[in-house]
């Protein structure tokens, strides 16, 4: 890449390079449409139905989507079938959320609850994706929004949406290739982290559910004849010498109170909406101490685990001695419950909280009239199997490198995102020219 003198011309969307053109989205794309207007019934299984609320941070939130029958799926797709390289766009609520479908195996349909689809040719899809994220496009999106209580864009406004692009298709490909290579690496790290998390959960299950932790001879405990005793509290057999405690019982962990240290300058505020599962998806809310939201009142520190208090909200954070960047820069919302954990038990507690079984128990203990959430009193009612300290230390030593690798992948993604966000406005405005060989 190189910055060099480029001649620009004035257009209806501002200054663009002389060798670029402007077309409306309906001309640049094959088709611009919305999803089904029908309301198919929810099912226990089948195909997913996606609306705008399931489009978050350039990805689809299938965990909170619902199923429709195969028959309804086929009927819905007669109007607006999603295909590979199509781009979905939210036009209500959080206007401008974007998702590009890269897979050729699609098991969801879209509903017209604020969700539009750009049917884009493969060779144009990546350029169009990054154009939607450009400063010029975002200014257009902001200027065309309507609605007093809830902002929205009309289908007609999106069809007339202006798209600027180089006349030379190779230049479009070269620019898109630079940005997509960064996004591909970010996505690869995300998938690796998901795999690492699954490995950690599999080891937890093997040790503490199947009770096949290594015995003194290094053999699987239960299948090698390890002694099991019946526990009435759990209604099942557990290894001899193990006991049953409660989460936050001050033996291996205790609940954290609100309160933060005074800080200078800015910090990043993480509320529960900033987290999806175990992944931080939004880092844009900056706060200063004197003007922070009242809920920005929890201090992350090493050897702590945090989870969303709200019912039906699985969001988990953890911090260890290697989490310097996160501890230095984050302030958490009081929408999280925090546990201060003994170092030897950190990944045992984290793995326990990450299980679906914990989430179900947490939800059953939530209370409240309008918004149900768990409190510290009810957290202390959650039963927790307490293995001996030496077993927890061995587990911790095995699992810690897995989560440290995941954290380092996240740090790398943070750096890659910053590079992409720095390059994108310059590339998509023609202020930086690229060698055409990049996209070939």
What percent of the chain has a predicted confidence (pLDDT) above 70?
Answer: 98
Strand partners, 255: 339
In degrees and rounded to multiples of 5, residue 312 shows phi and psi of: 55, 40
Assign 277 to helix, strand or coil. Answer: strand
Radius of gyration of the chain (CA): 25
420 φψ region: left (φ > 0), alpha (ψ -120 to 50), beta (else): alpha
What mean pLDDT is reported for the chain?
92
Domains of the chain with bracketed CATH? 8-166 (3.90.220.20), 168-216+389-440 (1.10.287), 243-386 (3.90.220.20)
What's the pLDDT at 410?
97
* Amino acid 428: pLDDT: 95
CB 48 within 8 A of CB 66: yes
What pLDDT is recorded for position 4?
53
pLDDT tens digits, 267-279: 999 999 999 899 9
pLDDT band (50, 70, 90) for residue 252: confident
Paired tokens of 95: 């206007």
CB 138 within 8 A of CB 96: yes
Q: Among candidates 353, 351, 361, which has minimal Cα distance to 382?
A: 361
pLDDT of residue 437: 62
Spatial CA neighbour of 37 closest among 99, 81, 9, 79: 79
Task: Give the tens place of pLDDT for each residue, 144-184.
Answer: 888 777 788 888 988 999 999 999 999 999 999 999 999 99
Which range has the worst mean pLDDT, 93-107, 285-299, 351-365?
Answer: 93-107
* pLDDT greater than 60 at residue 359: yes
**What's residue 389's pLDDT?**
96
Whether the per-residue pLDDT at 93 is higher than 80: the answer is: no
366-389 burial, b at 16+ Cβ within 10 Å, e below that, comes to beeeeeebbeeebbeebebbbbee
Can you tell me whether residue 414 is helix, strand or coil? Answer: helix
Read off the pLDDT of residues 287-339 as tens digits, 9 standing for 90 and up. Answer: 999 999 999 999 999 999 999 999 999 999 999 999 999 999 999 999 999 99
> What's the mean pLDDT in 212-219?
96
Could you tell me which residues come within 8 angstroms of residue 29 by beta carbon, excluding any fewer than 6 positions away? 118, 119, 120, 121, 124, 128
- One DSSP character per residue, 293-308 reads -TTEEE---SSEEEEE
Q: 93 in helix, strand or coil?
A: coil
């Amino acid at each position: 890449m190189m910055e060099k003198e480029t001649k620009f011309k004035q257009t209806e969307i501002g200054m663009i390079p002389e060798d670029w053109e402007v077309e409306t989205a309906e001309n640049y794309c094959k088709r611009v449409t919305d999803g089904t207007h029908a309301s198919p019934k929810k099912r226990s299984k089948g195909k997913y139905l996606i609306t705008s609320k399931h489009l978050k941070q350039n990805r689809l939130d299938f965990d909170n989507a619902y199923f429709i029958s195969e028959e309804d799926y086929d009927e819905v797709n007669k109007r607006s079938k999603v295909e590979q390289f199509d781009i979905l766009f939210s036009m209500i609520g959080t206007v401008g959320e974007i998702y590009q479908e890269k897979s050729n195996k699609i098991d969801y349909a879209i509903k017209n609850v604020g969700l539009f689809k750009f049917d884009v040719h493969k060779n144009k899809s990546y350029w169009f994706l990054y154009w939607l994220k450009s400063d010029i496009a975002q200014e257009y999106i902001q200027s065309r929004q309507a609605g007093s209580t809830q902002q929205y864009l009309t289908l007609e406004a999106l069809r007339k949406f202006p798209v600027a692009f180089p006349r030379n298709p190779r230049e479009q490909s070269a620019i898109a290739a630079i940005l997509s290579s960064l996004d591909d690496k970010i996505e690869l790290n995300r998938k690796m982290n998901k795999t690492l998390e699954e490995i950690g959960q599999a080891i937890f299950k093997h040790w503490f559910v199947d009770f096949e932790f290594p015995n003194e001879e290094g053999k699987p405990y239960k299948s090698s004849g390890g002694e099991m005793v019946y526990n009435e509290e759990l209604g099942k057999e557990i290894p001899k010498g193990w006991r049953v405690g409660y989460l936050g019982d001050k033996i291996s962990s205790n609940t954290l109170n609100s309160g933060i240290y005074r800080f200078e300058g800015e910090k990043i505020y993480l509320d529960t909406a900033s987290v999806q599962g175990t992944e931080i998806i939004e880092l844009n809310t900056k706060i200063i101490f004197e003007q922070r939201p009242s809920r920005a009142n929890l201090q992350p520190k090493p050897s702590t685990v945090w989870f969303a208090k709200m019912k039906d909200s699985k969001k988990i954070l953890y911090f260890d001695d290697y989490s310097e960047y996160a501890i230095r820069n984050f302030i958490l919302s009081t929408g999280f419950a925090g546990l201060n954990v003994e170092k030897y038990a950190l990944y045992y507690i984290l793995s326990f909280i990450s299980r679906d079984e914990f989430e179900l128990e947490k939800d059953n203990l939530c209370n409240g009239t309008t918004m149900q959430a768990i409190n510290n009193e009810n957290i202390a009612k959650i039963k927790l199997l307490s293995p001996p300290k030496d077993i927890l230390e061995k587990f911790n030593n095995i699992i810690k490198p897995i989560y440290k690798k995941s954290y380092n992948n996240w740090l790398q993604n943070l750096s890659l995102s910053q590079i992409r966000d720095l390059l994108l406005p310059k590339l998509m405005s023609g202020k930086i020219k690229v060698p055409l060989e990049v996209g070939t």
